[in-house]
Chain A
Amino acid sequence: MRVAAHPELFDPDAESPTLRATRCASCGRVAFPPIAIGCDVCGALEEQLTPIAVEAAGVIHASATVHRHFGEPPTPFTIVEVRLDDGPIARGMGDPGSDGFSVGQRVAATWQVERVDDDGNDVVEPVFAAIEEVRS
């Protein structure tokens, strides 16, 4: 079974990763990571912040390969900023199997197993990988 490393940020049951965001009913702001307490654009109350699901897909805004880091994961690893199709820019992990990223490149998230918990579940997080443009 798949469980989320951070259940407040994504739904591990979805076939391909789907992110948990919020949309402000007052100003329309789509926030990822999802925001609680009050909207960071207009200050609307928490009741106005509707949970929504957004596809973990978009284009690379920027990327950086990290060479110096204390703790997990071992270096090098890549951090990406993705302009999601639903609007916000999300910062996430690049797929370790990817051969580098370039600005404007189309990406989508896949599941990566971070570890296996005591119950034998796969603890997963989404990592972004390049995908082919779908041409119609």
Chain B
Amino acid sequence: MRRPLSDLRPVYVVGIGLHPYQRPGETPYTALGVHAIRGALADAGIEWTDVESAYTGTATTAMALSRLMYRHLGSTGIPMVQVENASASGSTAVRQAAFEVAAGLADVSIAVGVDKPLNFTMPQGAAGARDLVGGRAAPFTHFALLADRYMHETGATPENFAQVAVKNSRNGALNPNAQRRKVRTLEDVLEPPQISGILTRLQCTPIGEGAAAAIIVSEDAIERLGIDRSRAVRISSSASQSEQVYDGENFDVALTKATTEQALGEAGIGPGDLDVVELHDAFTVEELLYVEAMGLCEPGHAAEALMSGEFDIGGRVAVSPSGGLLAMGHPTGPTGVGQICEITTQLRGEGGERQQPDARTGLAHMVGVGAVCVVHVLSRPA
């Protein structure tokens, strides 16, 4: 019988670390990853020798990259594995680490996301799967098509989408780990170059490099290692689903809706209980689609809620206080782990200038091309 995470023993995020997301450069991925891991260990106040297993979310660097990175912390012989799930690779690494600890197979596991944008490969060629457009419809065109449809269905305007990038640029400017740290006006965002459909450059995520790490532990580990319980953030639920055949319904939305409902249900809460949300805003249209799919506002009213500040830091629910994929960036493997780092920071009340007041419950959401969706709900210490 299928059981939710909450049926197993509780699991907590106790240490987080990041290497700032940045434009692709010469830094070895090993240095990016170790920087984030050392940060997470210091944050938790534990040693590398305390870590019993490692899951590495990665999709665009190279096969078998884990040990070449972890060895710089000392070769302890722990099990390690790469987790590839497209954009949701990091989220899936978190999920696997949480499961291992929740099941009692380990007390301390680490989920690390690390990537450099070196190898983007898609499976369609190997599958012999063709369509009429082939490589002429890049991901940004997929989302431009969704934007066109959304405008038709809701009356939204190109300016409404651009406002998402304005808000997230404001948040990203407050985040030292963000790739884009400049506050942008509506005029800036609407400025050419036009990429596809209504999408301009600043409405598309910058693909870069970086790393993120989250240490996930049991109650036993908190006790045994003397970890500060007041900064431990519980993972209340973990849900993941894959695309079904929806007969023309927007699959990104349908998948997000179903997976979020499962995650909220298994955490025993509703969308109205969320204080912070990090979602897959690789393109501006996605934020409007997903806040509706998650139930954060009524269908067709996302633009209105956005414009009235409901999704701002300090609003009803802060959406992408990190800056999201649009401003913090999307180095692929790290992105989902980075979301867990941001939610943990927010629920600890350590967000500084970008702190959502009295944040108690947060949700992290990623979709991965294919398509898959992974959603986690986190709760702050009592």
Given the complex, which residues of A lie within 8 Å of B136, measured CB to CB? Answer: 66, 69, 73, 77, 79, 93
Chain A residues with CB under 8 Å of chain B are 6, 8-10, 29, 33, 40-41, 61-69, 71, 73, 77, 79, 81, 83, 87-93, 103-104, 125-126
Count, chain B residues at interface, CB 8 A: 26
B29 CB–A CB distance under 8 Å: no
Contact A67 B194 (CB under 8 A): yes
Q: Which of B131-148 contact A (CB under 8 A)?
A: 131-133, 135-138, 140-141, 144-148
Sample of 4 further A-B pairs with CB below 8 A, known A8-B130, A64-B141, A64-B145:
A62-B145, A68-B193, A79-B133, A90-B132
The 8 Å CB contact of B148, one of A33, A63, A68, A77, is A63
Which of B135, B197, B247 contacts A64 (CB under 8 A)? B197
Nearest residue, chain B, Cβ from A73: B136
Q: Is the CB of A66 within 8 A of B196?
A: yes
Residues of A within 8 A of B63 (CB): none
Cross-chain contact A92 with B197 (CB below 8 angstroms): no
- Cβ of B245 < 8 Å from any Cβ of A? yes
**Which of A33, A41, A67, A69 lies at the interface centre, i.e. has the most chain B CB atoms within 10 A of its CB?**
A67
CB pair A83–B248 under 8 Å, yes or no, is: yes
A93 touches B132 (CB 8 A): yes
Contact partners of A89 in chain B: CB under 8 A: 248
Within 8 A of A (CB), among B259-308: none
Contact B148 A64 (CB under 8 A): yes
| B132 A126 Cβ-Cβ under 8 A | yes
Decide yes or no whether B71 CB sits under 8 A from chain A: no
A-B contacts, 22 listed (Cβ < 8 Å)? A9-B130, A9-B131, A9-B132, A33-B130, A33-B131, A33-B132, A62-B148, A64-B141, A64-B144, A64-B145, A64-B148, A64-B197, A65-B196, A66-B137, A66-B138, A67-B196, A68-B140, A69-B136, A79-B137, A79-B141, A90-B132, A91-B145
Complex alpha-carbon distance, A73 and B137, angstroms: 11
Of all chain A residues, the one with the shortest Cβ separation from B198 is A64
A62 pairs with B146, CB closer than 8 A: yes
Across-interface contacts of A73 in B (CB, < 8 A): 136
Docked CA distance A8–B127 (Å): 14
User: Complex: how many Å from CA A64 to CA B285?
Assistant: 13
Q: Does B9 contact A (CB under 8 A)?
A: no
**B8 contacts across to A, CB distance below 8 A:** none
A10→B245 CA distance, assembly (Å): 23
From B152, B196, B245, give the contact of A40 (CB < 8 A).
Answer: B245
CA distance A104 to B141 in the complex (A): 19
A37 CA / B129 CA spacing, docked (Å): 11
Interface residue from B138, B149, B245 paired with A103 (Cβ < 8 Å)? B149
The answer for the CA separation of A104 and B153 in the assembled complex, in Å, is: 11
B132:A103 contact, CB within 8 angstroms: no
Pick from B130, B135, B152: contact of A71, CB below 8 A. Answer: B135
A65, B136: Cα distance in complex, Å: 11
Q: Which residues in chain B, 224-272, are within 8 Å of chain A measured between CB atoms?
A: 245, 247-248
Contact call A62/B149, Cβ cutoff below 8 A: yes
Closest to B149 in A: A62
Q: Which residues of A contact B248 (CB under 8 A)?
A: 61, 83, 88-89
Complex contact B197–A91 (CB within 8 A): no
Q: Is the CB of A65 within 8 A of B132?
A: no
A92 and B132 contacting across the interface, CB-CB below 8 Å: yes
B118 contacts A by Cβ under 8 Å: no
